[in-house]
Amino acid sequence: MTRTATAPVRPTTASDQTPRRVFAALTGLAALAILLQGLWAGKFLEHDGARDAAGNWIEVHATDGEVAIALAALATIWAVFRLRHRRDLVIGGVVLTVLLVLEAYVGGLIVDDGKDSLTPLHIPLALLLMAVAVWLPFRAGQDRAESLSADRS
């Protein structure tokens, strides 16, 4: 009789799930903030270049961006200290945070320096951010064994 060697899989316990749930909640809230970014952008883009008429919505958009950065940074710090063994979540948190900072920088150049030519970079970057922000909470919901088998298939 032949036996195949498999690595022992540690059973998931409530204590294993709590750090993942916290990470999923933080990244989920960041995803919500990113989604709202699109709503606020729609509110000021309807003014079609009249920045004075859209000033309040631009401020709301910027403030929400700062909230999204803070939530992503908190999620990343949480992942580094509590989910160190889940490199996918640590790297994903770092990517989300860095992309949000880049997005805010580009947005600042558009508003503060009048570099409207960067808008075609700003909007697709926002869509990429949304994809990462939606993927991370779902990835956090998988336990280690599930995430490893998902990577292999």
Q: What is the Cα–Cα distance from 123 to 133, expressed in whole angstroms?
A: 15
Spatial contact of 96 and 79, defined as CB atoms under 8 Å apart: no
Instruction: With 0.95 as the threshold, say if the pTM is over it.
Output: no
Q: Give the pLDDT score at 47.
A: 66
Q: Give the pLDDT score at 137.
A: 94
Residue 153 corresponds to which tokens in the numbers above?
A: 């298939």
> In the predicted model, is pLDDT for residue 139 greater than 80?
yes
> In the predicted model, is pLDDT for residue 6 greater than 80?
no
Q: Give the pLDDT score at 1.
A: 55
Contacts of 128 by beta carbon, 8 Å cutoff, 6+ apart: 99
> Cα angle vertex 24, ends 20, 28, to 5°?
175
Q: What is the Cα–Cα distance from 32 to 37, expressed in whole angstroms?
A: 9
Q: Give the pLDDT score at 54.
A: 73
Residue 70 corresponds to which tokens in the numbers above?
A: 């803070």
Q: Give the pLDDT score at 52.
A: 65
Q: Give the pLDDT score at 16.
A: 65
Q: What is the pLDDT of residues 67-124, one digit of tens each?
A: 999 999 999 999 999 999 999 999 999 999 999 999 999 999 998 998 989 999 999 9
Nearest to 149 by CA among 49, 6, 18: 6
For the chain, the average pLDDT equals 86
